[in-house]
Amino acid sequence: MLMVFQVEANGINVISDAERKGTPRQLFWPWFAANVSVFGLSYGSFVLGFGISFWQAVIVGIIGIGVSFLLCGLVAVAGKRGSAPTMVLSRAAFGVRGNRLPSLISWMLTVGWETVLTILATFATATVFERLGWGGGTTTKIVALIVVTVLTIAGGVLGFDLIMRMQTWITIITGVLTVVYIGFVAHRVDWSAVSALPAGSAQNVVGALVFLMTGFGLGWVNAAADYSRYLPRSTSGRSVVGWTAFSSSLAPVVLLLFGLLLAGSSTELNESIAADPIGALAAILPTWYLVPFALVAVLGLVGGAVLNIYSSGLTLLALGIRIPRYAASFVDGIVVVIGTVYVVFFAGTFFGQFQGFLITLGVPIAVWCGVMLADIALRRTDYAERDLYDPSGRYGDVRVLPIMTVLVGTAIGWGLVTNTSAEWLGWQGYLLAPLGLADAWSGANLGVLVALVIGFLVTFLFSRRQVSAQERA
pLDDT in tens, 237-296: 999 999 999 999 999 999 999 999 999 998 888 888 766 777 788 778 788 788 888 777
pLDDT score, position 349: 58
pLDDT in tens, 103-146: 999 998 888 888 888 888 887 777 777 777 776 677 877 887 88
pLDDT score, position 229: 92
Torsion 189-192-193-194 (CA) sign: positive
What is the DSSP-derived secondary structure letter of residue 344? Answer: I
**92 within domain boundaries:** yes
**334 within domain boundaries:** yes
Cα 373 to chain centroid, rounded? 17
pLDDT score, position 190: 93
The pTM (predicted TM-score) of the whole model is 0.88
Decide: helix, strand or coil at residue 141: helix
Burial class (CB in 10 A: 0-12, 13-18, 19+), 229: buried
Q: How far is 120 from 145, CA to CA, in rounded Å?
A: 10
**20 within domain boundaries:** yes
Q: How far is 465 from 472, CA to CA, in rounded Å?
A: 11
Of 255, 266, 104, the residue nearest 194 (C-alpha): 266
What is the DSSP-derived secondary structure letter of residue 359? Answer: H
Query: Count of domains in the chain?
Result: 1
pLDDT score, position 241: 96
**229 within domain boundaries:** yes
- Rounded to a whole number of angstroms, the distance between the first and last alpha carbons of the chain is 44
**440 within domain boundaries:** no
Q: How far is 466 from 473, CA to CA, in rounded Å?
A: 11
pLDDT in tens, 156-169: 677 667 777 777 88
pLDDT score, position 420: 67
CB neighbours of 341 closer than 8 A, spacing ≥ 6?
145
pLDDT score, position 2: 40
pLDDT score, position 421: 63
**318 within domain boundaries:** yes
Q: Which residues of the chain have pLDDT under 50?
A: 1-4
Helix (H) / strand (E) element for 196: namely none
In which domain, by residue range, is 142 found?
A: 10-350
**339 within domain boundaries:** yes
pLDDT score, position 405: 97
pLDDT score, position 136: 64
pLDDT score, position 7: 67
Q: How far is 68 from 370, CA to CA, in rounded Å?
A: 12
Give the type of residue at 280: A
CATH number for the domain that contains residue 218: 1.10.4160.10
Asked if 279 and 116 count as a contact pair (C-beta separation under 8 A), the reply is no
Decide: helix, strand or coil at residue 384: coil
pLDDT score, position 160: 67
**37 within domain boundaries:** yes
pLDDT score, position 177: 82
Burial class (CB in 10 A: 0-12, 13-18, 19+), 29: buried
